[in-house]
Structure formats: structure tokens, C-alpha cells
Structure 1
């Protein structure tokens, strides 16, 4: 049965294509040529377009698989710009999407075979230099490109924009299932693709929280981290760009992968949510991510020493950019903030100093507060364009539904760089349960800007006492002088499934603390 298509989206893509093809740019005589073609994949036909420089010659080539839910028209603006700069660009729609044949393979073995077939076709049918092949993409196309470098040695350079390195972590970070992001992926697959029984079954199992081992095994096959040794052996130059607030592929997974990657490498993190940082570039507007990507390919496919340099970790946040030689170089120390006893007059504890003992704070399992991670794509996406972080009025956080701890107000800024880590001692817990922790910047009027957050779930062990260790999402943030670093812990967030039975409580006790990495 043919997959359903969205005529509205198809119309929008057609308008975009027309704008890019007949719009501004170089004079017609010097313009790159664009062809729409059928490319034979591994037993399926893949829809694609090819953009080639106007002048004859041999050129480096870049293959661009399209994003989840989109098609090969996605990259036309960038393809024209790259072809004008001396690249052959082949953009294609992966199997199972739009008019490409087959079923969605979710960056599995069939997608890897398809990518190699596209490279075969590119070498045979365009003026591509076989020794200078690159692969890149946004989101789904990013993951396919990085995975492909493990299976096809001809890929000499990769740019992974808003992609993943560990799909298991993306689905189950700290054993917590991601509700909103997985839901959007499922809706896109049903509307714009042919998910088939494999993907449909895995999503059904994920949502029902069953056959977890099978879903994780399926996701592991589709994780670049699984093939890190192969990628290192093939030695492609790998650039990774992502967003601090990526709600599909949280950036913590990139840190360990980047550290273990021995190829020429680069890591960039910017404000925003999934694929937001690259968005304006898809429309052909000036964009730092795409400029960096072009420079990366210039260096490794054109041997241009002035291209984007390797060995850098570029961190952009709050209108400032910092560059380090490694991830660990951004933080020089770690400060431990102990969670103190809850004060009776304001139901708030002190955050700071040595962890104290002899106190406890119970939070109910089925009652939310105004503290949350927002709406997937929307909350952090708006933040990327406005420069304003998601903010709540802290007095509105119901202290009978959450634990709140606030630090003293320091006379100098607290410069957070890296991954804050929370350690909680719990008593009287059920066999399964979930908590969500939020770190805020609290001003003098009660406004609290969200710095970072993360959920944690436990699914085994005996009921009773336990400890929970949680890595909050990586961040780059300066808490201004006179502001209070504030921790909120509750049990419900619309972004995630939880594993709590209703009508119970989870009790946080003394000895708990949060470790903050500092510049």
C-alpha cells in the first residue's frame, strides 16, 4: 500500500524549489545545473537531485541524505551554493520516505547499503572525484552520514548536523522514555513515509514500554557509537554540530563519542532545539553552521588549509562564542553544592556548602509543577531566536509538589561549563520511579531562567532506600552576580514518560548534592 503524502507540504516544497531554482544568485550562464533523477539503491529506487558546477572538470562530491519527514528538495539552497563553489552535490530521499521506494529503515543496514549505492551512482554519473567524497545532513541525514562512514571507506569527510551518536540514549536517556520527541517522529513517519512493520512495531513497543531489550538492540544497530572502532579505522574527518537544548538527541551523548574519536574532528554546540541552528541555512540565508560545514569540506576535500580547523570545541551561548582544544578544557574545577534542610518559613532549602544530613523532603509522584522542560522544538527553538531562556516565576512552584533549593547570591558570576551531575539519596521508594531535576538562574524578582534539566528513572532493585545519580544536559551558562543558582526536583514533565505509580511519594534525604563544573 502506498504511503500517505501531505499535499500541503508537497506544495510548500515545490514553492521552495521554484524560489531557489529561479531566484537570485549567479548569472544564468555561470549557474550550476540541477537535475532530478532516480538513483538505484539496494533493491529500491531513490528520488534524488544532482547539482553540478557549470564548468567542466573533476570535483569533490558531497552526498546529502534528507531529514526525517523531508525529501531531497531540502538542501537545494545549500547545494546551489556548494556547486557554485566547486562541489558536486547529490541530495536524495532515503528509502521509505515520500516517493523513494521501500520501507523506512531508520538508518539501518538497508540505509547503509543505499548510501553506498548513491556514492556508486555519483562516481559513475557526475564529474565527481572518487577520492574526494563527503557526506552530510541534518537530523536523519546526519545520522545516516556518520553511520555511513563506518561502512564505506570512500567517505573522507562527514558533517553531522543535529544528529545522534547513541540512539539508545536518545530514546531512553537515564532509562526515561522521551514522550514528545518519539511521538513527533511517529506522526511524521505515518504521514509522510512508509514505516512498515519493523518501525511501527518498535514504536509500538517503545510507547507500551514492552520488549525494551529488543528496542534497545534495534537502536544500538543504528548508533554510530556502536561502530566507533570502524569509524576510527576508516579515519574520515568528522564535524559534529548540535544544539544545547536538542530534545530529540540531547548533546551529552556526543561528548563521550567525541572524546573517543581519533579521526580529525570538531564539535560545535549552539543555542536552540533540534535542527534550529541550521534552519535559516536551508532557506539560503547566511548561517554559521553551514559556513562551518563548507569550510570543513574545503579543508578535507579540497585540501584548503584555510578551511574550518579541526581539534576545536566551539561553544556558543548567550551571544558569546568560546573555543577550546577539548571538551574538558572548558572547565577548570568542580564545585559541590550540598542540598540543605528545608526551611519551615519558605519551604526552601539552601543549595551550597557540604551536604547536610538529618532532613527529608517528600514529593508526590503524580502532580506536576510549573517547572518543566517546555514543548519539544518550540520552547528551546524560540529561545534560539530571541536569546531569552525559558523562564518561570519561582514562587509559583508548588513546594508541596517539588523540592526547591536555592544558593546564596554570590558577588561574582558563576560560570557553568559542562555537565552538572546530581546525586540524590532517596528513602521509601517503589521498585520503579522517576524524578526530573531542573537547574535555574534565579533573579531578585523571582524570575527563574532554565539553565538545564534532565529526567531519571529507576526500573529495578528492591523497594526502599536507594541513591540516584543523574547527569543533567550539558550547558554553557553564566549565572550573573547577585543571582541564585536554584535546583527544583519534581516527578512529572510533559516531555517524558514516567515510571511512577500514582498517589505515592518519593522522599529526598540528606547527603544529596549537585556537582557544578566551572570555568
Structure 2
């Protein structure tokens, strides 16, 4: 066993940067980096094996402050890795934290890379592993048991929140690009998020060893096995921090949540809802981008707003630093259209001003055909929006009305701001008992080119053919600025490559607006 306070000297060369660059953007890495086997490392870094739940070996690295020694103790931060990402994922941030006086232990989640066990998708063994890593840190590093924090990106975020619910020693969490509700993330609107599930499943098989349970869940989910729907939902709820939220509140853990507006794996709505139910010290931050792209540069050690906020969060809640975090408005967001940060006292205040766009008339569309209105490509389209402001687009005048229902607002005479959650309310009549519809909101310029503002899917089963029913659908939350002279367009079609659709062959959907229950789109819209 390596001496607890004596660092090994191992290499952190360009291979680490290459692996982190790939992993940072997508929560993945193409190959195990060379850092774990090299010869010379930054002082304070060592690679260790930690026994997790049931004796499963977890590959980990430990970074300690340069002045560690004697009887002095330090706050400790535990970092579970992202899905399919090697244990060096957080090395740059761990080094920064250690330089600021933290002990940092990062470990590869069970089932991935060289760690033992099977992929349990933040199941009970993963939660127990987090506690075993804390045990190890308290026994083998100068860690203070009263100042324990956890953080992570994506998979690491979910495990951190679940661990905080089950281990009272966790006093502060920074959960970045994670989930509060797993079902509402990849099965929102009772629609399978095809690209998200396929990517996660494929990456799991490539870089790890999925458990038999996970293999069956993926088979049922991607195969649309509705007979197993209740079992899949129960499986997801067990792995959702929202299910255990009362325990987090009871433990008093300080929780910071950070995510991107365009996260195509864990959409922002479910994080905002989770945040609103927290009664502990809390903070919510949304920025432009897609899954894990808001934190990506920080994983390479570059300046990064998300990680700066996380460090401030830990400094206050684990070190007692009077840095103002507790006095700032806790909801902080940045528009996809640019500009500085906006702050709010709570999430409800973000979308307090709403306007309705009437969805009048009757429109009938044929299912099974993609109209050309789409939510983009997983982890690519919204990253392009983040870095070059190029969201998914569609020519609204050219969308075929046989396959897309379209409504448009008036042109706005001044700039408008959309902040929060857009909500669709309409009446649908289907010629079949099952079906899928996808709603989109576009910012349409003078030439008719629409830039995607938000979207969301909705699937129904067991309806009576020819009988109208009401649909209420929340589109994914966003912050977007609509220029003067533009208008908003609401588009509904039935096919989107992001999702699995359930439209029987030959199905038709009719959208109507009964006088007693008019259809509308509620938009959190106000003048700038």
C-alpha cells in the first residue's frame, strides 16, 4: 500500500490533455490515457486502488496540498468520473483544488475501464462505492471528516447527488450536467430519447461492462417494450436524486446545480424542478451549450465559469470563506444569444412574465414523415450554438404543411427575451390509438429562416381513434433573445431523429382549438 501522505511521481503529459479534450466535450474518452502508467507527475498526485462496495476495486487518483503533513487536516472533495471516462478526467481541476487547500480523490465508477464490477447506472452499489471512497479518504489522507464535498460532471453529478442523500457526511455538492430525474431526462413526454440512450449504451459497451440489468433495460427501452414500461420507470426512479430529495433536505447538504440550455441527454427542465424542491442552501446555473460542454474547458485546466462557481461554492461551504456566495441571488443564467449573466431569486422568477400565442384553426398532418423541423444532433448541434451561435434551423415557409402544423406570431417591433419554460396546450385527434408528436419553437427572421429556440416530444397510447384529447407539453427551458423584426413560429410534426416515434402507418393527427378550450403556446416573453 502506498504511504498515505507520500506522493508518487507519475506523468501527466499531452496524452492526458488529448483524453480530456475528447472526454470534456462529450463525457467520453476514446482510450485510457497514458498518465496512469508514466514516470513523472506533478507533486501531490498518486494513483491508488480503493475497495468499493463488496470489495470491488475502484481505480482512483489522489491529489493532496503541497504542504500536507503533520496533524493538519484539509477539506476533501470526492469526484466520481463521468460515464465512460477514465480516472484522469478531473486531474486538472483536482490539481487546482489541491493548490487551494483541498484533498481530492477522483475514482473511476465501477464497471468502467480498469475499475472492477459492472455498470450499475448510479444504482445502490455506486452509491455505496461513494461512501467507501469517503471512508478511504478519511483513513488514508489528511482529510477532515467534518468537511466532505462531492462533485462531478454528468454521471459523476448524478452519483454525487445520490451519495449526498445516503451519506450525511457529504456537506456540499457541485453537480454539473447531471440529472435530478432520470426518467424525465431520457423518457420525457413518455418518448424514448433515441440518440441519448443509444450513445450511452454504446459507450458503456465500448469502455465498460454493463450489468445484466442494464442490458435488459436497454433492450426493452430501445425496443419499445411497453409491457416493461412500469419496470423501466421504477428502475429509473431508484436512480433519480429527485426520489431521494427529502433525504438531501434532511441532511442539509449545500447543493449547486449547473447545466447547459441545450443538454440533449439531461434537459434543463428536470434540473430546475429538482432545484425548486430543495430547501437546503442551493444554487442553479444555466449556460449555453450541450451535454458537458459548459464544463469542458475547465477539465483541461483552462478558465471556466462553471468550475469557478464550483470552487467558490466549496470554499464557502467547506472552508467557511466569506466570499459572498450566500448573499448572491442563487439562480444565475446566461442567454444563448450572448451577453452577461442574469441573476434571479428563484427559478419561478425567471419566467414570471408570459405571453400567449393563439394556435387557432384546425390543422391536419400525416404522420411517419419528417417535415424537416428537427431538434438537431445529439451533443453537436447545441455545441455549435454555444460556440458559433448556429442552432438547428429550418425554412419555415418551406415546411410541408401536410406533415407539419405551423402557427406564427406577429412580427415584434422591438427586441424580446425568452427566459424559462415554454408550454404548449392544444387539442389533438388521432386516427390511431398511439402516436408521437414533437413541438418546436422557432425564431423566424425576415427571410423565413427559423432558428430553433426549443422543442420537446410527446407520445400517447391507448387513445380512442377519432376522439379529441388534450395535450399539455412543456418544451425544454431556455434563454433566448428574439431580435426586433422577427416573429415566433410554432411547428408540430411527428418524426425527429432524436426520438423514437410511435406513429402507426397511415396515422393522421388533427390539431384544433375548441371555443371552450382554446389552444395556445405560453411563452415567458418580455421586452428587453
TM-score computed with the length of structure 2 as normaliser: 0.89
2:34 and 2:453 map into 1 onto residues whose CA distance is: 39
Can you give the 5+ residue segments of structure 2 that lack an aligned partner in the other structure?
1-18, 23-27
Query: Counterpart of 1:289?
Result: 306
Query: Counterpart of 1:313?
Result: 331
Deviations 1:408-456 (A, max 9, x none): 1121222211111101112244221111111011011122111101111
Once the two structures are superposed, the pairs formed by residues 114-513 of structure 1 within 5 Å of their partners are: 114-210=129-225, 211-306=228-323, 308-309=325-326, 311-317=329-335, 318-320=337-339, 321-341=341-361, 360-463=362-465, 464-510=467-513, 511-513=518-520
Shift in Å, 1:202: 0.8
Shift in Å, 1:392: 2.3
2:175 and 2:323 map into 1 onto residues whose CA distance is: 21
- SS of 1:194's equivalent? coil
Which sits farther off after the overlay, 308-317 or 239-248?
A: 308-317
Can you give the 5+ residue segments of structure 1 that lack an aligned partner in the other structure?
1-6, 23-30, 342-359
Runs of at least 4 residues off by over 4 Å:
7-13, 15-22
Do the aligned residues in 2 keep the contact of 1:17 with 1:76 (CA within 8 Å)? no
Which sits farther off after the overlay, 497-506 or 383-392?
A: 383-392
Do the aligned residues in 1 keep the contact of 2:145 with 2:169 (CA within 8 Å)? yes
Query: Counterpart of 2:67?
Result: 55
Do the aligned residues in 1 keep the contact of 2:432 with 2:508 (CA within 8 Å)? no
TM-score computed with the length of structure 1 as normaliser: 0.91
Do the aligned residues in 2 keep the contact of 1:20 with 1:77 (CA within 8 Å)? no
Shift in Å, 1:62: 0.3
Are 2:68 and 1:45 equivalent residues in the alignment?
no
2:218 and 2:31 map into 1 onto residues whose CA distance is: 28
Query: Counterpart of 2:82?
Result: 67
Query: What RMSD in Å do the two structures reach over aligned CA positions?
Result: 1.9
- SS of 2:150's equivalent? strand
Query: Counterpart of 1:33?
Result: 44
1:471 and 1:390 map into 2 onto residues whose CA distance is: 19
Shift in Å, 1:142: 0.4
1:38 and 1:19 map into 2 onto residues whose CA distance is: 17
- SS of 1:333's equivalent? coil
1:10 and 1:458 map into 2 onto residues whose CA distance is: 37
Return the match for 1:517 from 497, 518, 524.
Answer: 524
Deviations 1:227-269 (A, max 9, x none): 0110000011000000111111111111221111000000000
Shift in Å, 1:331: 3.0
- SS of 1:145's equivalent? helix
1:20 and 1:501 map into 2 onto residues whose CA distance is: 60
Which sits farther off after the overlay, 403-412 or 107-116?
A: 403-412
1:515 and 1:507 map into 2 onto residues whose CA distance is: 20
1:502 and 1:247 map into 2 onto residues whose CA distance is: 28
- SS of 1:340's equivalent? coil
